[in-house]
Amino acid sequence: MIRLGFIIIVMALAGVLLSGLAAFRVHDQELVIDSIALGRGVDIHASLVQERLSERELLARVASGLFRAPSVIKANMLQPLRSSIYAFKTDFVLASWIARLQPGELPAARAELAAAGFRIPTIRNFDDSPLDPKVLDKPVDVLMDVEPRNSVTEGVTGRVLNDGPSMGPTLTLAMSDGRPVASDPTTLIGPGGPVGLVLAAPVMQEGSAAPVGFVSFSYELGSLMLANDDLSLFSVALKDPRKVDTELVADERGIVTARPLIANKAMAIQRIVSFGGRDWSLGYYPKTDVTMRAQRVAVIVGTIGLALTAIICGLFGYVSYNNLRLSREIQRRIGFERRLTAVIDELNHRVKNILAVIQSIVTRTLRHGSDLDVARDLLIGRIHAMSNVVSLLSESQWQGVNLKGLFEPRAIPRADRIAATGPDIVVSARAAQSLSLLFYELASHSDEGLSLVGKHPHIVAHWEITGDGPDSMFNFRWEEFNTSDATRRRDSDFGVVLLDRVAPEALGGTSKRYFTEVSYVYELTAPMETVVDMTERDRTEALAKPVK
């Protein structure tokens, strides 16, 4: 079991180590894979945004190059461009023509707007406040035409955009640079409109060094930023490098709002795109924490590894334990068979001894010339004495017999007249068989005739132990009072042999018998080691133990 437990512990440690290594490896791989996927997604998105912005800037350049009209004070300047700008399939919100007019040309511009059917032909400031032409001393930029035309867009024509917070600086920069310029993010088509950019391209006429007007296109920021949906790996933010504290973000519906930069949140990846003559920053915020996700995957892999380790160790332990248990069962069966063989051999030995004793009893009891009736009673009694001692030994699993138990009425005749005294000792099986026959033989001759006083004899059986340790001796004395050589029947030949030779030799001791004036005495002395015989008891006890 200790070896099996050690093996299972080693397997568990190896499984834990492998699970940890696998989790660490998966963690690194997930980090690399997610970083690569995020980087590729950002690069693709940034390139698409730049491509869309380049298309729109190209549209502005083409549109500005198509103007060849001799006069710019017209309200239908976009008419020749309508088919061209729609051919680009760009998602502009509003295309417009902004004419650069001298103060004296404003009445003609008002008349042109009225003739074109615009519902507010008045020339006015960018915020719809009245404009006093008398105070003007330089050219102004007037919105003269829009595309598409509808009830909302027609309301913006006639406005002078020079003082507008967004369009004024944009037009000034486009005129000075001579190329398309994008405005700051602003609300398109009045308050409440979408947030977007206005791209203004200057229009040059032949023989003129200054722009005669501007073609502008308004775009929503959401479409320019290609805002992603819920399934994208990141959210996109647009940032003007000139403004370090705010950024523009678009939600899933494309609605753009401004927010302050998130404190303590580093931008994962940043890309630069060019549009309208300046650079813009695209910031990409991962929607999921790559490190946290890698850790979760690593924990899952580690947990699976530990679970598999537990299952494997459990199965191995179960199978090994069953094999060990089966091996022990086989060893127990083998030990049981060996023990059974030893018990059978021991039983055969004891049965042979008992049969030999019975054979000797029968032979000497029924020898030639014996009285059959007397011999029959003696034979039955002697065999009964042997049967009784075998029963007592069986009850104690052949561990021995209490010496006083050999004086019970079932063991010897007329046991009520015997006073048995002595220490309580347990004699061995071999000694019990010899002593049982000895006591029966003595008791069977104790009732022949009458005593000296006309009564049955009184018998005293006493034993004691003298000495200590290996030199201790067993001393037994049988004395029949009120009897004599004349009143007591002589012992039979079998009895003489048993009393004088068989019993003493079986116990390794000596015996003597004699008459006194009033009693018959039989004395037996034997070493305690043969009477108790611990060797025989230990062997019997070992055979009686259950097989482990």
Which amino acid would we find at residue 99? Answer: A
Cα–Cα distance, 413 to 406 (Å, whole number): 11
What pLDDT shows up at residue 232?
74
Instruction: Flag residues of the chain having pLDDT under 70.
Output: 1, 68-71, 84-90, 207, 227-231, 252, 254, 262-268, 343, 346, 349-350, 364-371, 447-457, 536-548
Over residues 207-258, the pLDDT tens digits come to 677 888 999 999 888 777 776 666 677 888 888 777 777 888 877 676 777 7
What pLDDT shows up at residue 276?
85
Over residues 311-339, the pLDDT tens digits come to 988 888 888 888 888 888 888 888 788 87
Cis preceding linkage at 148, omega within 30:
yes
3-state secondary structure of 118: coil
| Structural domains of the chain in order of their starting residue, each with its CATH number | 44-286 (3.30.450.350), 366-544 (3.30.565.10)
Over residues 245-278, the pLDDT tens digits come to 788 887 767 677 778 876 545 556 888 888 888 8
Over residues 338-380, the pLDDT tens digits come to 877 776 776 776 677 777 777 777 776 666 556 677 777 777 7
Instruction: Count the neighbouring beta carbons within 10 Å of the beta carbon of residue 245.
Output: 7
Residue 42, CA distances (Å) to 33, 144, 228, 254, 341 in order: 14, 41, 11, 18, 87
Over residues 2-22, the pLDDT tens digits come to 777 888 888 888 888 888 888
What pLDDT shows up at residue 231?
66
Taking the model in full, what pTM does it have? 0.54
Cα–Cα distance, 372 to 359 (Å, whole number): 17
Q: Are 181 and 276 in contact (CB under 8 A)?
A: yes
Instruction: Kindly give, in sequence order, each residue whose CB lies less than 8 Å from that of residue 144, ignoring residues fewer than 6 positions away.
Output: 72, 73, 74, 75, 77, 97, 98, 99, 109, 112, 113, 157, 213
Name the strand (E) or helix (H) holding 97.
strand 92-101
